Amino acid sequence: MRITSKELARICGVSIGTIDRALNNRGEINAETREKVLRIARDLGYRPHLVARSLKTGRTMTVGVVVFDLDNRFFAQLVNAAEHAARESRYFVYLTHSNHDLEQERDCLEHLAGLDVDGILLVPTNRGPDFVKLIRGLHAPVVTVGNRLGAGVPFVGIQDRQAMKNAVQLVFRTGYERIVYVSPPLSYKGRENIYEVEERLEGVREAAREIGIPLVVLRDKSFPDVLEDAVRRTGARTALMCSSDIYALQCLELVRAWGMQVPRDVGLIGFDDIDLLKYVRPALTTISYPIRQIATEAFALLKRLMEGQAEPPEAPLIETRIVERESL
């Protein structure tokens, strides 16, 4: 069995209060006594019972993280960076994962609240007033990432819309005469929060309109079936823009299958700059998503919230940059 402070007190021949003073060096205590307690504690492998401490102090020094997909490289990086930031501030991480399921996401949040986490980092798939109400009822600060809930729920994100506008301009400047934008839905069970997908689409639309470059939007999951037709429809020089790198890679395969080459026959640009791009040829031009920075800033915000600081819920959106490689 594990050794408790009470037992340690008995063995050291002092009171439990003295044990506490020695272990957490608080208050006045005889140096000799402290040394003795510390030594015996070490020898016996005493380890404070953090659950009991939490019950007493009301702080768990723990943050919960809720993502909807860990298999996705993207979230893995997010969790990684968050874990890193948390550790630096001596917080531990409860990882939960909602598996694209709206109900499971609510469960995760409720459970984390039950575990009395000091704060929660959430990549939401739910949205709407009921969900916001649930979040407020958690009695723990929540910071969202990726999908914005609005309604004053703290959020850290990037300038999706502006990023796409910049990309469209680059496409135009590079000499392309039309754009096919591939933006399939991220599929969840049930209703979805597709804030980023919508923002990016809006950015493309706005910029295309302003510039006056023709735009075809493919929003369906079955875009591979219609892509070739969309690309070859005219003789005009076409750029394929994708709402994420994963789709861009799919497009790359398809284009190759038709016997066309990137960028000679068609231009291609992705979004996210996922790390596996370094193994892809031709090297994909893309928009970088500063996931590390997002995670770090999100945790920093969460930390300030956990420490009771008043904060504006939404910090300025983070700028992105285009990573120009070979595909455009």
Partner DNA sequence: GTGAAAGCGCTAACAC
Partner DNA sequence: GTGTTAGCGCTTTCAC
- The contact set with its own copies (CB under 8 A) reads 1-2, 45, 47-52, 54-55, 60, 65, 70-71, 73, 76-77, 79-80, 83-84, 87, 92-97, 99, 110-111, 113-116, 137, 139, 249, 252-253, 276, 279-280
| Window 115 to 134, contacts with DNA (CB under 7 A) | none
Closer residue to its own copies, CB minimum distance, 52 or 226:
52
Angle at 36 between CA 12 and CA 48, to 5 degrees: 70
17 binds, among DNA, its own copies, none (CB under 5 to 8 A by kind): DNA
Tokens of 261: 């080459």
312 binds, among its own copies, DNA, none (CB under 5 to 8 A by kind): none
Closer residue to DNA, CB minimum distance, 30 or 261:
30
Closer residue to DNA, CB minimum distance, 9 or 260:
9
Q: Where do runs of H (alpha helix) occur along 137-194? A: 160-173
93 binds, among DNA, its own copies, none (CB under 5 to 8 A by kind): its own copies
Write down the residue that tokens 């298999």 correspond to. 71
CB of 17 to DNA, least distance (A): 3
Q: Which stretch binds DNA (CB under 7 A): 15-23, 79-87, 167-175, 294-302?
A: 15-23
**Given candidates 21, 148, 161, 325, which one binds DNA under the rule CB under 7 A?**
21
Number of neighbouring beta carbons within 10 Å of residue 32: 8
Beta strand pairing status for 321-323 and 286-288? antiparallel
250 binds DNA (CB under 7 A): no
Closer residue to its own copies, CB minimum distance, 207 or 277:
277
**Given candidates 4, 89, 104, 169, which one binds DNA under the rule CB under 7 A?**
4
**Given candidates 10, 25, 35, 53, which one binds DNA under the rule CB under 7 A?**
53
Closer residue to DNA, CB minimum distance, 6 or 136:
6
Tokens of 36: 């003795």
Burial class (CB in 10 A: 0-12, 13-18, 19+), 316: exposed
Do the Cβ atoms of 286 and 248 come closer than 8 Å?
Answer: yes
Provide long-range contacts, Cβ within 8 A and 24+ apart, for 183-187. Answer: 183/217, 183/218, 183/219, 183/242, 183/243, 183/247, 184/218, 184/219, 184/220, 184/221, 184/223, 184/243, 184/247, 185/219, 185/221, 187/100, 187/221
10 binds DNA (CB under 7 A): no
**Given candidates 42, 43, 45, 57, which one binds DNA under the rule CB under 7 A?**
57
CA atoms within 13 A on the CB side of 73: 10
DSSP for 241-294, written as a single string: EESSHHHHHHHHHHHHHTT--TTTTEEEE-SB--GGGGG-SSPPBEEE--HHHH
Closer residue to its own copies, CB minimum distance, 60 or 166:
60
What is the C-alpha separation between 113 and 141, in angstroms, rounded? 10
CB of 110 to DNA, least distance (A): 13
CB of 6 to DNA, least distance (A): 6
The residue type of 192 is E
25 binds DNA (CB under 7 A): no
Which of 41, 74, 208 has its CA nearest to residue 145? 74
What are the backbone angles phi and psi of residue 80, rounded to the nearest 5°?
-60, -50
39 binds DNA (CB under 7 A): no
| Binding residues vs DNA (CB under 7 A) | 2, 4-6, 13-21, 23-24, 26-30, 33, 48-49, 52-53, 55-58
